Amino acid sequence: MNTAAEAEQNLREARVCDQSDPLKSFRAGFYFPKNPDGTDKLYFCGNSLGLQHESVKDAVEEVMASWKTLAVDGHFRGERPWMKYHEGLREGQAMLTGAEPIEIVTMNSLTVNLHLAMVSFYRPQGRRQRILIEKQSFPSDRYAVESQIRFHGLDPADCLVELKPPDGERLIDDNQVEDYLRQHGDTVALVLWPGVQYASGQVFDLQRIAEAARQAGACVGFDLAHSMGNMPVRLSDSGCDFAAWCTYKYLNSGPGAIAGMYVNARHSGRMDLPRLHGWYGNDPSTRFRMGTEFTPADGADAWKISNPPVLAMAPLHASLEVFKKAGFSRLREKSTAMTGWLADTVESQLSGVLDIITPSQAHRRGCQLSLRVRAGRESGRALFEYLDAHGVVPDWREPDVVRVAPVPLYNRFEDCARLVGLIRAWTDSAGSAP
């Protein structure tokens, strides 16, 4: 089959899938960046920044109206009083993370929340001083971990352990984490691991990692930046101590949006646990007595420090309502089918050009596919720039990865078919084929 006929066949198949998609109506609620001719760009960058939903404007304007008409009384009056605004964000995030609502708090940004969690759960003593992370961790996570080690007067060269994939491979096996903890667990104070690896798109088995950490006597926390709103997670069942995430990727809450944090309920009310205190972490029933003694709020709220930024919470409120209407199980079902269709098409039609780094098994990947051009980094960069110039929004991660993420809330199978067609056009164009 020639290239043009293959592209038409792909489009026909994709459109059949789109016609039977029970979630197809949700796309119309999102704003897409536009091409010069006014058509929508092919947006595959929801793993970096999700699109804006039309309901965000109303959510923000509701807060603005309360501020305008009620001023300080907006803390206690109006449709959603600000003093309890964060409570309306618990249930939706708890559903997405397999947690109890009391274990969820919305505050700060991801790395700040990781720091606050490590104050409590990285407590080096005796031989147990190490933090175990992955070698290819997101830089912010590594910076945070290294600085926490130095904060305790320790040397990262001795206390920071980074597991890397076997030579010649791009993925870390869950067995490697278990093996390290089985052999060296008595030296590990904390395991900090991602739910989804940002560059490869690999999904880790958090249940296994948490169990291995607990058996080794170490605390364990998860960075869910690329899991939240993408993959189902069962934090409470895992028994992990904490987790943190951002909400501007798959939760579509806007650039630099407010983040979330989970703290296992078994730590609720603990006064023996080191923690940085602030007024909003105090028990709300005694907060306004203005006393000098800190009494922690129930659950994860004890880790709050400052007055929550309600305007920043409004987009997340709107987003969680969209997720509630769509149903996360249906979103995951579509994601599995759509990303699987894209992966199968790439492998059958572009295997001589691209390697897919992301695992092939559906349970080991979410929306994201990480692609590598076989000819090397320069050709990979050329493909990225070609796609960008032809109305596609992917993203590039050094050293050689083009990431594309078909998000089930707003992407279509047809988007995936058009992406494959453009990659074929690039390979066929003079001077661009690897």
Cβ-contact 145, 173 below 8 angstroms: no
CATH numbers and ranges of domains, the chain: 3-53+327-428 (3.90.1150.10), 59-324 (3.40.640.10)
Lowest mean pLDDT among 3-17, 46-60, 98-112, 134-148: 3-17
Lowest mean pLDDT among 122-136, 329-343, 372-386, 419-433: 419-433
Helix (H, G, I), strand (E, B) or coil at 365: strand
153: left (phi over 0), alpha (psi -120 to 50) or beta: left
pLDDT at 3 over 90: no
The model's pTM: 0.95
Cβ-contact 250, 407 below 8 angstroms: yes
pLDDT at 340: 98
Cα-trace Rg, the chain: 23
pLDDT at 172 over 80: yes
The DSSP result for 1-21, as a single string, is --HHHHHHHHHHHHHHHHHT-
pLDDT at 1 over 70: no
pLDDT at 317 over 70: yes
